[in-house]
Amino acid sequence: MTPLNPQQQAARVWFEALRDRICAAFEAIEREMGSDATFTYTSWNREDDPTGESGGGVRGVMKGSVFEKVGVNVSTVAGKFSPEFAKTMHGTAQSGTFFATGISLVAHMANPHVPAVHMNTRYLRTGASWFGGGADLNPAIIYDDDTADFHAAMRSACDAHPCADYAHYKKWADDYFYIPHRKVHRGVGGIFYDHLEGDFDGTFAFTQSVGEAFLDIFPKLVRRRMHTPFSEAEKHAQRIWRGRYAEFNLVYDRGTTFGLKTGGNVDAILMSLPPEVVWE
């Protein structure tokens, strides 16, 4: 693809490095449970450009004893929006062109006492340039101390940077990760932010802090719960709960829409869907 400018390259390198560190941390947890599961990586180019000149990414997936299914994707793409979709995008120039680089992670856990989680951070450039993303916890069985510790980690990431506002981003997550047709939230929240413009160094530093906070807190929560015994009834309840997660991602999630509308890899986009789901 067209050579990246220094800001685009810095963001891309960070997201890819974060992917490597997260995958290594998750594989280490599998080792602790006696599993030899590892990530399988599949590279892809944009569907409308098999030459790879407009970018692509790498889809990483692991299925193990602790992580029933976890996907960690990185992508760097550029192109042009359709006229209809361009109207919905923040800061889109008249030409409708875009650049996007980011990391997206969803983990569905084997033990229903271990919370599922989502994390995504990204850098986009259209007529404007901005960072967006966040992280949210999605437990089938809620533990108040897990919720409190996760939110404390996200609050610390925000409090360290003048450009961030934890209270605003927490409410944004609560509002965004809501399933109107079910009248329930997808999980216990976290933070969500978008269109964070202005000083590149400051907004990038905050986005890096979100990634670091996630990498610190989530493995701790996994280790806290992964040895907890569970019943088949609890596993069944987890499968029912996962249906809500699938419904949100397929009906409301903006990241899913963006990926499909811009020629992304379908398997990478839909890796967020749970491995086993029950609707009753």
Domain extents in the chain: 6-272
Q: How far apart are the first and last CA of the chain?
A: 47
Single pTM value for the model: 0.91
Q: What is the pLDDT along the chain (280 residues), one digit of tens a residue?
A: 678 999 999 999 999 999 999 999 999 999 999 999 999 999 988 665 554 567 889 999 999 999 999 999 999 998 876 666 555 555 555 557 889 999 999 999 999 999 999 999 999 998 889 999 999 999 999 999 999 999 999 999 999 999 999 999 999 999 999 999 999 999 999 999 999 999 999 999 999 999 999 999 999 999 999 999 999 999 999 999 999 999 999 999 988 887 787 777 888 889 899 999 999 9
Q: Specify the length of the chain in residues.
A: 280
Contacts of 34 (CB under 8 A, 6+ apart): 65
Instruction: Please give the positions annotated as active site.
Output: 118
* Measured distance CA(126)–CA(8) in Å, rounded: 12
Architecture per CATH, domain 6-272, reads as 3-Layer(aba) Sandwich (3.40)
Q: In what order do the strands lie in the sheet with 40-45?
A: 40-45, 55-62, 67-80, 97-109, 116-125, 129-138, 189-196
What distances in angstroms separate CA 117 from CA 52, 70, 186, 261, one per listed residue?
31, 9, 11, 25
Nearest Cα residue to 115 out of 133, 141, 153, 135: 141
Phi and psi (nearest 5°) for 116? Answer: -70, 160
8-state DSSP, 14: H
33: left (phi over 0), alpha (psi -120 to 50) or beta: alpha
